[in-house]
Amino acid sequence: MAVSTVLTGCGSDAEQPEITDVFEEVGLWCKSPDIVQIASPDSYPLTDKENADLATAKAEAKAAAEAEQGDDWDEAAWEAEFKYQSLDLYAILGLTLEEQERQAIAKEEARAFKIEQGQDVIYGEGFDEWFEAWFAAIPPANYLGPSQRIERSANATTPEMDGEEICYTPPLSCPNYKVIDETGTYECIVPELNPILGVPDPIVTAGPDEAIAFYRHKNHVTGADNSALYENMVVHTWNNDDCTAYQKDTLSNWGSNSDYANKNKGIDDNYGHYWKLHLVEGHSNCGNIIFNDTAEGKKISDNDLVMPIGPSGNVVFHNLDKNAFAHDDFPANALDGLLLINQHPYLGAEASSGFKACGWGMAADESGEQCLGEALVCPDDTVAVGVGQIDIASKCVVVFNPEETDLYIKGGFNDWKAPEDAKFEYTGNGQYRLNYLYDTDCEGDDCTVIHQFKVADESWSEPASFGSIKGGEQSGVGKTITMTVGSGVGQNMSVEMAEEEIYQFLVNAADPTAVELTINQVPVAAFPAITMAGETTELTYSGEGLYVIRKALMAEEYSFTIADEAAGFAVGAIGNDNVITQSVPLALVADGGALSFTPASAAEYDFVLDLSNPEMPTIEVKPALPFGTTPVYVRGSLNGWSSPATDEIKWNADERSYSVLYGLEAGGNHAFKFADETWGTVNLGFNEVTIADDSIAVTDDGGNMRVTVAKSTSYKFEVIFDGADPVVKVSEAPLYLLGDITNWSASDANQLMFVASNDANTAEASRTYSIEVTFSGVGQFKVADEGWGGSLGYNYGVEVAGTKVELGVPLELAISNNNIGIDLPAGTYIFAFEDGLTKTMTVTAK
């Protein structure tokens, strides 16, 4: 109570002090962070039932923590760290009246959002029922923030106090670069002055009618040369009815800086790339901005960003120095449905308050650090998009129909339009194809440009507008990716294009819910095909100018031609030289004659058309690789059923077999299969193969193969294709230390052996082999098989003649005629050969 006193003496009949209640009109004042609230049942003390329910939930959480920590359980530490906010208080205490009011508002916002996403059209008459179930499944904390029942109960008001003003401390924790909004309009706001002290000043300042936007890449290192990180960075700036800030020289086209930004840019050692932006007189409080890497796509957010440039006193848009800061690992500020880049440097600032609030259609991941598109179950003939993608709201989209849809390649190379030369040819079964000549008026030596693009129909309809999946595989020459549809979901893709080169775009929509895109740089604007016995089959581009196709042939003569009539392309025999010898390339000529090939035996054969030099084409026919281009591994108990690169089985064309060597401990038995990385295309178990007669015994183990070995040495795991069906063989495959320190001839005495090192494991396996050697003086040696490479392909020396192994230092080996030198004091040494992707020899003293 404020008191105004007029002193006129004591004990007199003078007028008494005048007392003025300054709150009479303004109402109750509360000290920050408290706010004024109206007493209601929300602020009554907790009931006995509420207290009991809280005690039960705490006890359950405590028991779970104790069970998880086991012998490390520290009850006192747990009690000291426990917070009731870690419990699901909404499930325990329900919603307060105020939370119910906010929930009703949030529900209307969510409904409007889903209608904006087009979900009312997707679900039709069932939209209301679907929406009610969808909204009910969202945890209230996702849109209401922390429960306030416990904090409100601290006021301990009574029904008689309902309607009175009280001071209330909300359960709010703001990041350290924000403060609580005392007006109650927002939870947390950015203060006008940076609360993070001691941050360095930027190297540039905004002049009159200027603003500066900073962007720091997640891999930026202070004090290092970071220029490569920003090589393709631009800012896209534009005006609209909400934000009219920029002069004409600061308005940019997509994929490039404005003239003003391009002339006023640089890199700050602390805050990353910066651009100065030219403001109009009397500009609005905000400027539209997007940070765009022309090779990778949008940064910070896939949604439009706003740069605050307002005056002091504007809670949302204030920015006193008109510097704005963005960082890959720092969130944009969400206020009034806008995403604002920060007015202050982020250095020393927390990215969040510990509670992750995600937008509609998203949910926090297990770490609570990222918002991901939520899982959805969509109606028939629709597909869920955006699920699991960072900062993308998921939704259902109608599945497009390839049979009724024309697709185009649209990007920076054709102004995002749909010209006829960018139209895909549809060949049926969901397959689209296009050879696109990148023809540009380039001036200068380097005419290679990274262009962004999408695959879409002419009208950009949502079901047929394809982009890349955020956080997924990105497009590029020689790559195949899965695309996605959905406005705000599919990201711009990118491709590096060189002048006068031809780029082949292939769209595989055989499964229209998982559409794939492949990009190749090809030597000719054609799709070569082989016509044999009246059947025409297109060759597939495999890279390096090669087109291939695999065909099953009998042991008889075949005549065929190679052409693409629609493209005016044909190659064939030169005169009468039309007979192809197996595995021998035959020169071809444009518009040449028909070709002939007679296989020696019935099998599958690869036809390889080499157009790496289009002026000198060749054709080669050779026995096919049974597994094609799919890497296949030996997978089993010997490697934890995994598929490391070292365990890939390699093809030997002479022997028509795949094989890999593995060291096994004597007496050990192992289950195994031959399979690809996904257990998909190739998955060979006991029932899919025949066991060779001369193999170590291989038995059936529930569909797996199992082998038991008697000797600690190296073994060859082999799949042989000299007939129609695969044959598996496991055999000893000894390797030797051959040289003048042992013997230049292979024998048991100089065989490299597998040496077990773990007594607890009686079935060890690895690719390390060793031998103990006692010798004196200088010597030479190699690691080889019995046939010096002719048996197993092992004949390892050193790349540079005269190279010597040093004690305790792994020496990298190479297939070479150069012996490995050694010059150590006389004694006994352990020679260990590591048979990994890189072959090494390490010598240590015993």
Q: Summarize pLDDT for 438-451 with one digit per residue, the tens.
A: 987 776 666 788 88
DSSP state of 200: P
- Separation of alpha carbons 641 and 621, rounded Å: 36
488 pLDDT above the threshold of 60:
yes
Contact predicate 720/657, CB 8 Å: yes
544 pLDDT above the threshold of 80:
yes
Residue 628 pLDDT grade (very low, low, confident, very high; cuts 50, 70, 90): confident
524 pLDDT above the threshold of 90:
yes
Q: Would you state the pLDDT for residue 818?
A: 94
> pLDDT tens digits for 180-218?
777 767 778 899 998 888 889 999 999 999 999 999 999
Preceding amide of 200 cis, omega within 30: no
Cβ within 8 Å of residue 531, ≥6 positions away: 537, 560, 561, 562, 563
Residue 22 pLDDT grade (very low, low, confident, very high; cuts 50, 70, 90): very low
> pLDDT tens digits for 333-372?
877 778 899 999 887 777 665 556 678 998 887 766 678 8
171 pLDDT above the threshold of 90:
no
Q: Would you state the pLDDT for residue 175?
A: 78
Task: Name the residue with higher pLDDT: 371 or 506.
Answer: 506
Average pLDDT, the chain: 89
Q: Would you state the pLDDT for residue 241?
A: 87
**Mean pLDDT lowest for which of 193-207, 331-345, 550-564, 595-609?**
331-345
Q: What residue ranges define each of the domains in the chain, with the CATH number in brackets?
A: 179-353 (2.60.40.1110), 400-522 (2.60.40), 529-622 (no CATH), 633-732 (2.60.40.3620), 735-845 (2.60.40.3620)
21 pLDDT above the threshold of 50:
no
Mean pLDDT of 538-563: 94
Buried b (16+ CB within 10 A) or exposed e, 157-166: beeebeeeeb
Beta bridge pairs of residue 820: 781
Residue 11 pLDDT grade (very low, low, confident, very high; cuts 50, 70, 90): very low
Q: Are strands 690-691 and 727-732 parallel, antiparallel or unpaired?
A: parallel
Residue in the structure block whose two tokens are 């795991």 = 717
Task: Name the residue with higher pLDDT: 126 or 173.
Answer: 126
Q: Tokens standing for 45?
A: 């003390």
Cβ within 8 Å of residue 541, ≥6 positions away: 504, 520, 522, 547
> pLDDT tens digits for 726-771?
999 999 999 999 999 999 999 999 999 998 877 778 788 889 999 9
Proportion of the chain above pLDDT 90, given as a percent: 67
Torsion of CA 214, 215, 221, 224, to 10 degrees: -60
Residue-wise DSSP of 2-45: --------SSSSSPPPP---THHHH-----TT-EEEE--GGGSP
Which class for 656: exposed (0-12), middle (13-18), buried (19 or more C-beta within 10 A)? middle
> pLDDT tens digits for 417-475?
999 999 999 999 999 999 999 987 776 666 788 889 999 999 999 999 999 998 788 89
675 pLDDT above the threshold of 70:
yes
Q: Would you state the pLDDT for residue 659?
A: 94
> pLDDT tens digits for 62-93?
999 999 999 999 999 999 889 888 899 999 99
> pLDDT tens digits for 87-97?
999 999 999 99
